[in-house]
Amino acid sequence: MDNKAIIDSFTEFKEDKNIDRVTLMAIIEDAFRQQLKKKFETDENFDIIVNPDKGDLEIWQNRTIVADDELEDDNTEIALSEALKIEEDFEIGEEVSQPVKLIDLGRRFILAFRQALLQKIQEHDNAQIYNRYKDMEGDLISGEIHHVRPRAVIIYDDDNNELILPKDQQIPRDFYRKGDTLRAVVKNVEVRGSKPQIILSRTDPRFLEKLFEQEIPEVFDGLIQVKRVARIPGEKAKVAVESLDDRIDPVGACVGMKGSRIHGIVRELGNENIDVINFTSNMNLLITRALSPAKVTSISIDEETKRAEVFLNADQVSLAIGKNGYNIRLAGMLTGFEIDVYRDSEEEDVILSEFEDEIESWVIDELRAIGCDTAKSVLKYSIEELVERTDLEEETIREVRAILESEFEE
C-alpha cells in the first residue's frame, strides 16, 4: 500500500468536516511530523512534500554517510556500505536522501499517526467553530431542536454543530419540542476542555433587539435605531427607539397599524408585553416616557447618585409601579436610574402602604387587587360594594374605612 492509499484511508471523512484539501494536507504533515519526533526524537532530517491536488504525501529521509564501524544513529546516519548500494560513487560525509513509505514505518506508527491526525482534525474543527461563533456573539441564529433536557435544550445548526440553550436563558413559558425550529441570540462562546460550547439565549435584551431588526424593515435598513432595551423575560419589556429620518415616527413604525408589526415579536416572546417609547438624551423626559402609561407631575434627578424622585397624582402611582412592580423596574433598567415614586403633595390622598402599621398587609393586597392603591380610592366605594368586590369580611372593611377616614378628619 503506497502513501496516497494510506492517506486516503485516513481522510474519507474530511467532507463531513468541511476541510479543504490544502488545509487537510497541512494537518497531515503536522500530524506526521509529530509522530516522527516521538519515534526518532527529531524530524529535522525529514523532508515532507505535500501534493494537495493529488492528495499525496512524499516523505524523504536525509542521512549522512559514515564509516560502517562509526554508525551510531541509523535515523540521521547511514553506513557507507549501505549508501554504496544506492549509488556506487557515494563517499563518507555526503548526504543521502531516500523516499520513505508509511507502511515501512510499522503498524504501530501508522495507528499512532492516524490517532494524531484525527485529534488534529478535531482541534481544527473546534477552532473553526469557536472563531465562527465568537464573531457571532449577539447575533440572531436559528436551528433545529435535537434534545429537550431538564437543564438545557440542545439545538443543531445547519452544519450539525451543537448549540446549548440553558434553562436560565429560556423564556419561562416557552415550550420546546424535538424537531421544532428555534430562534435565539448567541450569548457567548466558552471552551470546556478542548471543545467549544456555544451558549444561546432568548432572555438576553439583544434577542429582542435582533427581533426588531428582523421584523421591522426600517430598523433593518438603519432608518430607525433601537437605542435601549430592558426586559423581564416572558412578562414585560421596554424598548427606546430613535428615528434618523424626521418623516418617520419611530414608535408608530415599530408598532404598526393596530400593533400588526410588533405582534409577531410579542408572539415569539411568549406574549411578553412590549412598550415602545421615543428615545431622548433628555434624562428627565426619558424617565417620564419610561414610566408610561403613568402620567408624571414632576421629576427631580441626581446625576451623581443616579436616583430620580418622581411625583405623580395618587391615581397614577399604581400605573407607574405596574403589576408586580414590573413597570418601575423596567423604567429603572432602561434609564439607568433608581426611581422613587411619590404621591404629589398637592393631591390630598395617601397611598395604602402608609397604613401598614394599622392595616394588615394581606388586607392591603386585597384592596390593591381591585385597583385601590390609595385611601380615597377605597373610600369612594360603599361598604356593600367592597364586600362584593373583595374577599374581605364586612367587619374588616368597616375597620379599614374608619382608619382611612380618620386620615382626612380636621
Among residues 274, 295, 326, the one where a domain terminates is 274
Let me know whether 306 and 363 are in one domain: no
C-alpha cell at 180: 421544532
0.85 exceeded by the pTM? no
pLDDT digits (tens, 9 = 90+) for 118-130: 888 888 888 888 9
Average pLDDT estimate for 10-26: 63
Same domain as 12, residue 80: yes
* Amino acid 12: pLDDT: 54
Q: Please compute the mean of the pLDDT values over residues 253-279 and round it to a whole number.
A: 92
Backbone angles phi, psi at 292, to 5 degrees: -60, 145
Q: Is 349's pLDDT higher than 60? A: yes
Q: Rounded distance, CA 309 to CA 298, Å?
A: 9
| Domain count along the chain | 5
Confidence of residue 54 (pLDDT cuts 50, 70, 90): low
Q: Do both 17 and 106 map to the same domain?
A: yes
Cell of 82: 549501505
Is the same domain home to 37 and 108?
Answer: yes
Q: How many CB atoms lie within 10 A of CB 205?
A: 19
**pLDDT at position 156, please?**
94
Q: 69 and 177: one domain? A: no
Distances (CA, A) of 222 to 23, 216, 360: 39, 10, 53
> Which residue, of 102, 132, 162, is where some domain finishes?
132
CATH number at residue 319: 3.30.300.20
| Residue 21 shares a structural domain with residue 103 | yes
Q: What is the mean pLDDT of residues 34-44?
A: 83
pLDDT tens readout for residues 280-326: 999 999 999 999 999 998 898 998 999 999 988 877 888 898 888 89
Helices (H), 99-199: 107-134
CA 42 centroid distance within chain: 45
Spatial distance between the Cα atoms of 156 and 88, rounded to a whole number of angstroms: 63
Q: Among 10-14, 104-108, 316-320, where is mean pLDDT lowest?
A: 10-14
Whether 206 is covered by a domain: the verdict is no
Same domain, yes or no: 14 and 77: yes
One domain for residues 76 and 158: no
Backbone angles phi, psi at 335, to 5 degrees: -95, -20
CB 144 within 8 A of CB 137: no
Which of 302, 322, 347 is the endpoint of a domain? 347
Helices (runs of H) and strands (runs of E) counted in the chain: 15, 15
Residue 36 domain flag: yes
Calpha distance 313→297 (Å, rounded): 7
Task: Decide if pLDDT at 15 tops 60.
Answer: no
Question: 399 near 386, Cβ under 8 Å?
Answer: no
pLDDT tens-digit map of 160-204: 889 999 999 999 888 999 999 999 999 999 888 778 999 999 999
- Is residue 261 within 8 A of residue 299, CB to CB? The reply is no
CATH number, domain of 118, equals 3.30.1480
Convert the pLDDT of each residue in 196-254 to its tens digit: 999 999 999 999 999 999 999 999 999 999 999 999 999 999 999 999 998 999 999 99
Whether 274 has a pLDDT exceeding 90, the answer reads: yes
**Pair 23, 101 in one domain:** yes
Mean pLDDT of 379-385: 88
Give 2's pLDDT tier (boundaries 50, 70, 90).
Answer: low
Q: Which three cell numbers stand for residue 102?
A: 508509511
Range of the domain at 237: 211-274
Q: What is the pLDDT of residue 220?
A: 93
